[in-house]
Chains A and B, each alone.
Chain A
Amino acid sequence: MSASAIFILDLKGKVLISRNYMGNMDMNKVDHFMPIMMRMEEDADSSPLVTHGSAHFLWIKHRNLYLVAMTKKNANAALVYSFLYKMVEVFKEYFKELEEESIRDNFVTVYELMDEVMDFGFPQTTDSKILQEYITQQGHKLDVGAPRPPATVTNAVSWRSEGIKYRKNEVFMDVIESVNLLVSATGSVLRSEIVGSIKLKVVLSGMPELRLGLNDKVLFEITGREKSKTVELEDVKFHQCVRLSRFENDRTISFIPPDGESELMSYRLNTTVKPLIWIESVIEKFSHSRVEIKVKARSQFKSRSTANNVAIMVPVPSDVDSPKFKTSTGSCKYLPEKSAVQWNIKSFPGGKEYMMRAHFGLPSVESTELEGRRPITVNFEIPYFTVSGIQVRYLKIIEKSGYEALPWVRYITQSGDYQLRTN
């Protein structure tokens, strides 16, 4: 079905730790993995799936590690990749960071976890909060309080344990919208997309039932309140705690939340909005002498909002020298390692326009290396504001003990993949 074995390799391809789940393949086959990768690299090729004879390797890279799943069957590739990413997540929860060092330092726990998260190639429990209840890093004596599998592992509610207690019951919600933008070199918007995410930090006792109300267009149409300002969500994805069939039926978002932090849902909208920060640029390259850059940045949102920590990255050829900058606001920095100029503006109120000019020298001998035309990228965040206009109308919290709980909501819009192509 999925993986015969899973390996964690270092950058040279040496196996740091591995687990043979099915016993139906020669574990030494993994030695072919790195040579194939090297060969592909030479050909400027790359693929997340490499084959050697009857062995298929599905891999992801995390920091200085390769996580590789090996199979000889027609495995569910989507499952394998998403499992590998889940593994990274679990290890990160346990060891703060997953890297060569943390694997070595914790090899016993790593083995225990690998034993628990997958069985015979079938992913099992991968919720790190639940795993932490019975796979801990202390040795246990069986007679005195050895852990038992929490009922949660096999429960229908497999993400929250019973008996959680807090003195003060609160829920913090972050509504975060990322704007992905792709603008052509001629200045037309090719793609504009909003990817939203609602994150929870749950500090609630017991087994609370939550219901979240948004100004969802479809919901309002069902309930006949078309007049209100609504948002049309193109596609919604939920944490597994949300009852999907219920949402499908009447658009109610109801759930028993996991304890602590989690991402409750994400959504996507394709509604074209005016790009929040618009960039016009002129990059003139005079061969053998200089590069001149003019960048105009305009904020196209209401003046009562302000974008913070705006960073505009403008690509420059890799062989430039002697940078000179002039800006109407903020500061500029030449980043040779990224071959870019970074223009930082701490605070950028709506409806404003700023200018930046840069001047670089070019060596008289032109480099033979071809350079791709990299886009200008922009980073920013605008607090207390959502581009889509999404609003949390209510968050109802019901627990059988009947406590009062306070929901808190925070809105923020930030740049996602925000690219403007250059000439």
Chain B
Amino acid sequence: MKWRKKYFSACFYLFLSLVPLQENRQFGSKMTDSKYFTTTKKGEIFELKAELNSDKKEKKKEAVKKVIASMTVGKDVSALFPDVVNCMQTDNLELKKLVYLYLMNYAKSQPDMAIMAVNTFVKDCEDPNPLIRALAVRTMGCIRVDKITEYLCEPLRKCLKDEDPYVRKTAAVCVAKLHDINAQLVEDQGFLDTLKDLISDSNPMVVANAVAALSEIAESHPNSNLLDLNPQSINKLLTALNECTEWGQIFILDCLANYTPRDDRESQSICERVTPRLSHANSAVVLSAVKVLMKFMEMLPKDLDYYGTLLKKLAPPLVTLLSAEPELQYVALRNINLIVQKRPEILKHEMKVFFVKYNDPIYVKLEKLDIMIRLASQANIAQVLAELKEYATEVDVDFVRKAVRAIGRCAIKVEQSAERCVSTLLDLIQTKVNYVVQEAIVVIKDIFRKYPNKYESVIATLCENLDSLDEPEARAAMIWIVGEYAERIDNADELLESFLEGFHDESTQVQLQLLTAIVKLFLKKPTETQELVQQVLSLATQDSDNPDLRDRGYIYWRLLSTDPVAAKEVVLAEKPLISEETDLIEPTLLEELICHIGTLASVYHKPPSAFVEGSRGVMHKRLPARTGSGEGTECPDVGNAAGGSAPEAAPSIIPSQGDLLGDLLNLDLPAVLCNILIMSKLNSSLLSPQLGGDIGGSPAMGAGFGAAPTVMPASLNAPVGGGLGDLFDLGGGVGMPMGAYIPPKTVWLPAMKAKGLEISGTFARRAGVIQMELVLTNKAMSVMTDFAIQFNRNSFGLAPAGPLQVLTPLGPNQTIEVSLPLSTVGPVMKMDPLNNLQVAVKNNIDVFYFSCQYPISMLFVEDGKMERQVFLATWKDIPNDNESQFQIQDCHLNSEAASNKLQGSNIFTIAKRTVEGQDMLYMSIKLSNGIWVLAELKVQAGNPNYTISLKCRAPEVSQCVFQCYEAVLKN
């Protein structure tokens, strides 16, 4: 294709014309088409214009090619718009394609002129050649100009019903394009329905594109319920799956993954029809199939034979993915990392395939290493260690570091191997390779934590390397070791002192660690180290600008000076065990990521909401819950990673901690001290008397919490957002004939939002006391302690009347019910809705915020029965503007029963009148803040619809009161 070259060379010459003329002359002699040289940019456009308007077809085509060539190299040729569009009506297909291409690029910058193209589009959509029809409809959708869009509806409608599947499949995609430009238009024109119809098209490619288009639209409009998947449509998709192209198969599988089968039988039958896809040559098809299977498997009972078969079928294709191109290997490995955490049993025998090859790209090596550690178990530890040792002597720094760390993790994970790991690490330290030594020391610190009093004999070797440590993490680790084992290291004071010299140049991590270590040393050997401890305390408290350091310094100082025995208990307290797997993904996030296998989310290990703009508030995907055979709760067996080792406690998760609390906990300070620290921070007075529990009383704390909910993420509202309607809709049938109405419990804080803590609850009024009844469930894998609760200011001054009583730590999968008495004397601020309550709950992990709505009926006090005379007077006295009327529908109580029921919730009937078969009940209510609400309830025998009129001096409460009426009467 020699001749093609010429367009490009022409445009290269043009390009050169921008550089100084001198150079041009230099090249000029070599060039043949020298006329382009001398033309200025303006002249070039002018010339092209002339050529585009030439009568000769061939010349025209050449000119368009030149224009496109210029466009390709990034020149602005939009000035030629009308001339190029003039070439659109051509019988030359190649030329037409080029003009269309031009249009797509420049229509947006020339919206007024783009209109000129509409006619040709409409005409081309009716061309006898399907290739042209499809080309027109495809290009049309790429012209993102509002004015044009509406002209395109008719042609699109025709193309969606075209006899040729090639046109239909192109039109299907065009609906998605149009929807992206003008969603309303697409809905108004009924294109969505046509698109849904195409799912039943006879041609598999059309089905696939229709599915893709619908999925795309549904993704950007999560509430549209477009992909209304049901067993019938699923069946159609599964049939098309066998016939369409590899890409179509991916569209369909990804769409299937959004479906939730009704029961385990449907789930199994879908799995059976998806499994053959695991044999597809395209890795992306395989991964999408894996996604569907991983998700639907969740619904299968584990004792089912098929469940085991499926598990076995998943391993080989996953392993084969590692023979794909490196980029696909990377995607596969990131996903296998998730799968191994969710279902370790699938790949537990496949350790060897993750052994690193010399020529693997670094990103593949690092991922393989990660998976190796996850799969490490007693059964394969020897092999793994031999490999890790090999890797630790490679030259690639990142890889070597990770390998050294991996050895440490193996030691912690597989107890039997700890000794071997330690000796391997010591060998590595002997290599004196600087970064290897530093990594080794960091992991040895963890090994000491895990197996106290076992390997301290190596401390001497570690101390030899003190001088070579230049990374903060390694220095901090070494200092920790010296402080922790100060009594066994003869010259501990000298070692620590040597660090003190450059105290202010150290990073915070090292400073904090040094402070703690010297205090530990002092408590162990008080006589010789008094001077040292004073030195470090003064460095920390007087010379440092770092508040964390200063506060910690002060606390130690006070502790030491007031009560050395207590200081000992605090500073030298026994430390909790460290967990085996430090970087497991939190279960709720893991579940969500499993639903996104193959996508960017699964590669980043982040939910889409974390990196896709505008996806906040979009529903998080969840794995389906088990149905069918009714064994209620089952916990996923994430814990028994890779099996092998005997009954082991579930590994706990240390979530990444960015906040203050986390930072503090990360250091080995006992919990009590943490509380002190927090208090000291918030109260800005040191060692305030109220430790731990009594957080509520502190005004500073209240203010701190009060401000926080304003930054509460909007999406948090989603689960609660349904409002009272939702609250009250649930739990029908559980009648409580007398007594106050208590709404059923709802989830206020899903575990996903709170690092594993789930809070559900309700409000009740019992014997005149308002109770917030909470159910705390720990869905994370670590123990939760130190619970406290705080409310933001609210409409009725609700506030906890005492601390949140969670006396025992909340273990993983444990649930605790707590009842929190509330007072109504807290600070007041009007909320919207009125009965909205913003709550902050703290535990040892973090502080979480949520909002909930309480039924206003719990504020109805017991002495709310008004004198009849007063009632009449008040009724008249309140202006009629303040009266509001509501309808309560479908209530089948007679007036007597209604009155009784309402009384249970402190809504008192004062008088009753019957006029023409209609009972009129007059009632009064008194709110905790002294507001009276008067009501007139009309009940007609045989009519399930009540009318209620409310009168109140503060009419904004009427709506809430009405909702209470409705809730009480209907429950």
Say whether A and B bind each other. yes
For residue A72, CB closer than 8 A to chain B, the reply is yes
B247 part of interface (Cβ distance < 8 Å): yes
B328 touches A22 (CB 8 A): no
Q: Which of B91, B144, B320 sits near A268, CB closer than 8 Å?
A: B320
Task: Say whether A60 contacts B327, CB under 8 Å.
Answer: yes
| Majority-rule SS of B interface residues | helix
> Which chain A positions have C-beta within 8 A of B287?
78
Cβ-defined partner of A74 (8 Å) among B108, B242, B288, B600:
B600
**Quick check: A60 and B598 within 8 Å, CB to CB?**
no
Most chain B CB within 10 A, of A16, A48, A71, A248, is at: A48
Cα A68 to Cα B105 with chains together (Å) = 19
- Residue A1 is within 8 A (CB to CB) of chain B in the complex: yes
Let me know if A228 is at the binding interface, CB within 8 A.
no
Q: Nearest chain B CB to A109's CB is how many angstroms away?
A: 8
Kindly list chain A residues whose C-beta atoms are within 8 Å of the C-beta of B557: none
Shortest beta-carbon distance from A257 to chain B in Å: 14
Q: Mark A105-128, 1 if CB is under 8 A from B, else 0.
A: 111100110010001111111110
> Do the beta carbons of B1 and A119 come within 8 Å of each other?
no
* Inter-chain contact B280/A240, CB cutoff 8 Å: yes
Residues in A lying within 8 Å of B, measured CB to CB: 1, 15-17, 20-24, 44-49, 51, 54, 56, 58-60, 71-79, 81-85, 104-108, 111-112, 115, 119-127, 134, 137, 139-143, 146-149, 153-154, 156, 158, 182, 184-185, 190-191, 193, 195, 234-240, 243-245, 247-248, 263, 265-266, 268, 370-375, 417, 419, 421
User: Within 8 Å CB of A125, what residues of B?
Assistant: 245
A119-B358 in contact given A49-B600, A60-B325, A74-B600 (Cβ < 8 Å): no
A154 to B164 CA separation, bound complex (whole angstroms): 9
Pair A244/B355 contact, Cβ less than 8 Å: no
Say yes or no: A1-B212 contact (C-beta < 8 A), given A82-B283, A111-B68: yes
Interface string of B532-564 (1 = CB under 8 A from A): 000000000000000000000000000000000
Q: How many A-B pairs fall under 8 Å by CB? A: 276
Interface residues of B in 3-20 (CB under 8 A from A): 4-5, 7-8
| Chain A residues within an 8 Å CB radius of B277 | 244
A140 contacts B92, C-beta separation under 8 Å: yes
Can you name 14 A-B pairs with beta carbons within 8 Å? A45-B398, A56-B600, A60-B327, A72-B612, A75-B600, A76-B250, A81-B331, A85-B328, A106-B1, A122-B251, A148-B131, A239-B281, A244-B279, A372-B396
A244–B274 Cα gap in the complex (Å)? 10
CA distance A402 to B207 in the complex (A): 34
The answer to whether B72 and A123 have CB atoms under 8 Å apart is no
Kindly name the residue among A23, A45, A120 whose own CB sees the greatest number of chain B CB atoms within 10 A: A120
Question: Is B93 an interface residue when CB atoms closer than 8 A count as contact?
Answer: yes
Asked whether, in the complex, the Cβ of B599 is within 8 Å of the Cβ of A75, the reply is: yes
Q: Bound complex: CA of A46 vs CA of B330, how far in Å? A: 12
CB of B245 within 8 A of CB of A190, answer no
Chain A residues within 8 Å of B250, by CB = 76, 79
Task: Please encode chain B, from 565 to 601, with 1 for each CB lying within 8 Å of some chain A CB and 0 for all others.
Answer: 0000000000000000000000000000000101111
Number of B interface residues at 8 Å Cβ cutoff, please give it: 114
Once bound together, how far apart are the Cα atoms of A265 and B132, in whole Å?
A: 36
Interface hub of A84, A139, A238 (most chain B Cβ within 10 A): A139
Stretch from B166-174, B484-492, B733-741, B766-774 contacting the other chain: B166-174
**Complex Cα gap A17–B120 (Å):** 27
CB contacts under 8 Å to A, within B75-94, are: 91-94
- Nearest A residue to B74, CB-CB: A15
8 A Cβ contacts from B100-158 to A: 101, 104-105, 108, 129-132, 134, 138, 141-142, 144
CB pair A78–B275 under 8 Å, yes or no, is no
A-contacting residues of B (Cβ < 8 Å)?
1, 4-5, 7-8, 61, 65, 68-69, 72, 74, 91-95, 97-98, 101, 104-105, 108, 129-132, 134, 138, 141-142, 144, 164-166, 169-170, 173, 176-177, 180, 203-206, 209, 212-213, 215-216, 219, 242-247, 250-251, 254, 273, 275-277, 279-284, 287-288, 316-317, 319-320, 323, 325-328, 330-332, 352-353, 355, 357-359, 361-363, 383, 386-387, 390, 393-398, 596, 598-603, 608, 611-613, 615
Residue with the highest number of chain B CB atoms closer than 10 Å, among A127, A237, A419: A237
Q: Contacts A79-B250, A234-B316; is A146 near B129 (CB within 8 Å)? A: yes
Most chain-A CB neighbours within 10 Å: which of B69, B169, B243, B279?
A: B279
Contact of B131 among A20, A122, A147, A184 (CB under 8 A): A147
Interchain CA distance A122-B138 in the complex, whole Å: 12
The docked-state distance in angstroms from the alpha carbon of A60 to that of B247 is 19
Report the separation of the CA atoms of residues A76 and B599 in the bound assembly, to the nearest whole angstrom: 4
Pick the contact of B94 from A54, A140, A185, A372 — CB < 8 Å? A140
Tell whether A49 pairs with B4 under 8 Å between CB atoms, given A111-B97, A153-B205, A238-B279: no
- Contacts A141-B91, A154-B169 aside, 12 further interface pairs with beta carbons under 8 A come to A21-B142, A22-B177, A124-B209, A125-B245, A127-B245, A140-B94, A141-B93, A146-B93, A146-B131, A148-B129, A244-B277, A419-B357
Chain A residue at minimum C-beta to C-beta distance from B253: A76
**Smallest distance from the beta carbon of B103 to chain A beta carbons, Å?**
12
For the complex formed, measure the closest distance between the CB of A331 and the CB atoms of chain B, giving whole angstroms.
25
Separation in Å of the B537 CB from the closest CB of chain A? 40
For A111, what are the chain B residues with a Cβ–Cβ distance below 8 Å? 68, 97-98, 101
Chain B residues positioned under 8 Å from A153 (CB to CB): 166, 205
Q: Which of B142, B244, B386 contacts A184 (CB 8 A)?
A: B386
Cβ contact within 8 Å between A120 and B1: no
B8–A22 touching, CB < 8 Å: no
Q: Determine if A421 and B390 form an interchain contact, defined as CB atoms under 8 angstroms apart.
A: yes
- Which of B177, B243, B316 lies in contact with A120, CB distance below 8 A? B177
Q: A235 to B327, Cβ gap below 8 A? A: no
Complex Cα–Cα for A121 and B601 (A): 18
Q: Residue on A with the closest CB to B332? A: A78
What residues of chain B lie closer than 8 Å to A238, measured between beta carbons? 279-281
How far, in whole Å, are A262 and B876 apart by their CA atoms in the complex? Answer: 92
C-alpha gap A46/B363 in the complex (Å) = 6
- Pick the residue among A24, A77, A236 that contacts B279 (CB under 8 A): A236
In the docked arrangement, what's the CA distance between A7 and B469, Å?
A: 46
User: CA of A122 to CA of B177 in the docked complex: distance in angstroms?
Assistant: 11
Q: Which 9 A-B pairs have the closest CB atoms?
A: A235-B316, A244-B276, A78-B284, A74-B608, A154-B165, A123-B247, A48-B327, A248-B276, A149-B166
* Complex Cα gap A182–B352 (Å): 10
| Distance A148 CA – B273 CA, assembled complex (angstroms) | 35
Residues of B contacting A149 in the complex (Cβ-Cβ under 8 angstroms): 130-131, 134, 164, 166
Using CB atoms, name the residue of chain A closest to B597.
Answer: A78
Chain A residues lying within 8 Å of B212, measured Cβ to Cβ, are 1, 122
Complex: A148 Cα to B93 Cα, angstroms? 11
Chain A residue with minimal CB distance to B358? A375
Q: What's the minimum C-beta distance from A326 to chain B, rounded to whole angstroms?
A: 27
Closest to B65 in A: A108
Cross-chain contact B166 with A143 (CB below 8 angstroms): no
A127 CA to B320 CA, complexed, in Å: 23
Q: Do B319 and A268 touch across chains, with their CB atoms under 8 A apart?
A: yes
Q: Across the interface, do A1 and B215 meet the contact criterion of CB distance under 8 Å? A: yes
Whether B97 and A115, one on each chain, are in contact in the complex, defined by CB atoms closer than 8 angstroms, is: yes
A124 to B138, CA, bound (A): 12
**A374-B355 contact given A153-B205, A158-B205, A268-B316, CB 8 Å threshold:** no
Bound CA span A125–B598, Å? 21
Could you tell me the distance between the alpha carbons of A48 and B331 in the complex, rounded to whole angstroms?
9
Q: How far is the CA of A74 from the CA of B597 in the complex (A)?
A: 11
Residues of B within 8 A of A16 (CB): 72
Of B94, B130, B215, B216, most A-chain CB atoms within 10 Å: B94
CB-CB nearest in chain A for B433: A370
* A108 touching B98 in the complex, CB below 8 Å, given contacts A44-B396, A48-B330: yes
Neighbouring A residues of B598 by C-beta, 8 Å:
76-79
- Contact partner of B173 among A56, A122, A182, CB < 8 A? A122
| Cβ-defined contact, B283 with A105, below 8 A | no
* CB <8 Å contact, A245 and B242: yes
With A and B bound together, what is the CA distance between A245 and B281 in angstroms?
Answer: 14
CB–CB A142/B281 < 8 A: no
